[in-house]
């Protein structure tokens, strides 16, 4: 994802939210029920970014609260990470019809808002959930099956860490060694270890 010179200036997340809620810059605005801005700690060290809201998210206006979101909550809870201590959002803030993958133009239109969120929150680790988010944020990264579980130097002091999208875990429920669920369990343990190292002042890992 390239930084956009058109990223809207915003003093706070709330002022940015106000701008996003009134956005009609792409066709997704016509079919949405609600804008899904994002939620969590405004000073989070870790920011989780998916591709776009689903049906439940569109209804509630909250990110990752449907079946995939419940699975994400389980993943976080498995290592004692509180949802309120991280920030969760998406590349596009409105639901693509039928939960399809967001079109490139839709992501380009919404990227300035995501850029502004990152600038305001100033996370040290961005967890890209799924292949779409990973490829958008770091176009030179391998596909998700190869890039997941790897800390990449990304932007300044920020690291990028791809993980499977939680919706992928719903399609493959096996917990056997080598399964998406098992690999995600290993990956979230790496995130937890990274957080513990930051608290201890240890140097951050990178590619």
18 vs 24: CA distance, rounded Å: 13
Residuewise pLDDT in 10s, the chain (207 residues): 444 445 555 679 999 999 999 999 999 999 999 999 999 999 999 999 999 999 999 999 999 999 999 999 999 999 999 999 999 999 999 999 999 999 999 999 999 999 999 999 999 999 999 999 999 999 999 999 999 999 999 999 999 999 999 999 999 988 899 999 999 999 999 999 999 998 887 666 766
Binning the chain into helix, strand and coil, the percentages to the nearest 5 are 45, 15, 45
Calpha distance 199→197 (Å, rounded): 5
Query: Can you give the pLDDT at residue 146?
Result: 97
Query: How far from chain centre, in Å, is Cα 170?
Result: 18
Residue whose C-alpha is closest to residue 113's, from 12, 37, 42:
37
Maximum distance among all Cα pairs of the chain, rounded to whole angstroms:
48
pLDDT at residue number 11: 79
- Provide the whole-model pTM: 0.92
Structure tokens that stand for 109 in this block: 């239109």
DSSP per position, 171-206: H----STTSHHHHHHHHHHHHHHHHHHHHHTPPPP-
Domain ranges of the chain: 14-199
CA atoms within 13 A on the CB side of 20: 31
Distance CA 39, CA 154 (A): 23
The span from the CA of 28 to the CA of 58, in Å, is 11
Instruction: State the pLDDT at residue 207.
Output: 65
Its sign, for the CA torsion 146, 184, 164, 180, is: positive
DSSP letter, residue 22: T
In whole angstroms, give the CA distance from residue 207 to residue 190. Answer: 14
Place of tokens 């915003």: 10
Q: What is the pLDDT of residue 199?
A: 84
Sign, CA dihedral 150-151-155-158, equals positive
How confident is the model at residue 6, as a pLDDT? Answer: 52
> Torsion-angle region of residue 82: left (phi > 0), alpha (psi -120 to 50) or beta?
beta
- Fold type of domain 14-199: Uracil-DNA Glycosylase, subunit E (3.40.470)
For the stretch 75-105, pLDDT in tens is: 999 999 999 999 999 999 999 999 999 999 9
């Amino acid at each position: 994802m390239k930084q956009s010179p058109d990223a809207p200036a915003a003093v706070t997340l709330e002022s940015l939210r106000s701008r996003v809620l009134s956005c009609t810059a792409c066709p997704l605005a016509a079919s949405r029920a609600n804008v899904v801005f994002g939620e969590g700690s405004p000073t989070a060290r870790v920011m989780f970014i998916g591709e776009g809201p689903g049906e439940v998210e569109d209804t509630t206006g909250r990110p990752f609260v449907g079946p995939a979101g419940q699975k994400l909550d389980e993943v976080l809870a498995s290592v004692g990470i509180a949802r309120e201590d991280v920030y969760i959002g998406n590349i596009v803030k409105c639901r693509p019809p039928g939960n399809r993958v967001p079109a490139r133009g839709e992501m380009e239109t919404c990227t300035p808002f995501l850029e502004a969120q990152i600038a305001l929150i100033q996370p040290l680790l961005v967890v890209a959930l799924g292949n779409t988010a990973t490829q958008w944020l770091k176009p030179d990264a391998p596909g998700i099956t190869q890039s997941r579980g790897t800390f990449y130097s990304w932007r300044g002091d920020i690291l990028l860490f791809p993980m499977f999208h939680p919706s992928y875990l719903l399609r493959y429920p096996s917990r056997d060694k080598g399964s998406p669920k098992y690999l995600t369990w290993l990956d979230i343990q790496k995130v937890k270890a990274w957080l513990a190292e930051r608290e201890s002042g240890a140097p951050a890992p990178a590619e």
